Amino acid sequence: MEIRNVGKSGLRVSAIGLGCNNFGMIDIESARKVVHRALDSGITLFDTADIYGNRGGSESQLGEILGPRRKDIVLATKFGMAMDGEGVKVGASRRYIMQAVEDSLTRLKTDWIDLYQLHQPDPNNTPLEETLEALSDLIRAGKVRYIGCSNLKAWAVTDAWWIARERHLNGFISAQDEYSLLVRDIEKELIPALEAKGMGLLPYFPLASGLLTGKYTHGGEVPQGTRMALMKRLADRFMSDANWAVVDKLAGFCAARGRSMLELAFSWLLSHRALSSVIAGATKPEQIDANAKAGGWKLSTEDLAEIGKITAR
């Protein structure tokens, strides 16, 4: 497993990470098998969030499963989305951050979080200065080692970088955002900002909710039990005529080279210099095996140019 730095920081993670958003939704024994297979495969980045698994379920399962192996991984979690229905446990204020981190540490059964990420822009519009000051205090207290952000606009990421520099605070080392062969919006502004500020990209939904796995066919019946079958909003979003036109061409590209769509999706992402780790979810150990091997295709300049033409919108 290739190991990469997260941006220009000293944090090093596996090129393929494990997204734990399914934990808390699947039973703990199934989650345990996935975690153990990931550890055996050399995956070191485990990414979760307080909200995953019906508010706390994912972190709780990880805390139960990891035990002494906690020290062997880079544990990333997030805060900021609503953890109650009253609008109290939400946001990025100092008051809430200090509570949220203690709740996550308790569920995860650990003394520290390697990468603590702001999950979304604060709906209460807390100034970034307050958020960064609180997070820097957590780093000084030893409860957090690095901080990152997710789903922020490029201007907000840049603003946070300047605030941290001017106030001598710890800054975000990473940004976690949606990015795949089918969703390339962040290329225009966010990725150039990350490269300019030395931050690492951690893409989620790298397989476009499964459309890039090769298990779906254009015009075919959606397999039962899959994400697209269970979540109509995802099927409506991703299974568009425009996306299928791209997927069909990418399938031909892969077939001509004896490769799989999974290999293409991961290897294309890993070809970007800003990318630190591809976060891929799994509910079965076999998916871990496939994910761990999928990033080894070294795409040529010609390959990347052709892929660019196919996926351009």
Q: 70, 57, 1: which is closest to 30 by C-alpha?
A: 57
Contact 205, 278 (CB under 8 A): no
Rounded CA gap, 277 and 36, in Å?
Answer: 19
Residue of 52, 116, 179, 204 marked catalytic: 52
Contact 32, 23 (CB under 8 A): no
Tokens read off for 212: 């890039």
Q: How many beta carbons lie within 10 A of that of residue 108, not counting itself? A: 24
In DSSP terms, 76 is beta-bridged to 47, 115
Give the SS3 label for residue 305: helix
Q: What is the DSSP letter of 311?
A: H
Q: How many beta carbons lie within 10 A of that of residue 290, not counting itself? A: 16
Rounded CA gap, 189 and 199, in Å?
Answer: 14
Q: Torsions phi, psi of 163, nearest 5?
A: -60, -45
Contact 180, 192 (CB under 8 A): no
Rounded CA gap, 148 and 118, in Å?
Answer: 6
Based on the residue annotation, tell me whether 52 is a catalytic residue of this protein. yes
Query: Could you identify the residue written with the tokens 């290329």?
Result: 187
Q: 10, 8, 13: which is closest to 278 by C-alpha?
A: 13
The residues that are catalytic are: 52
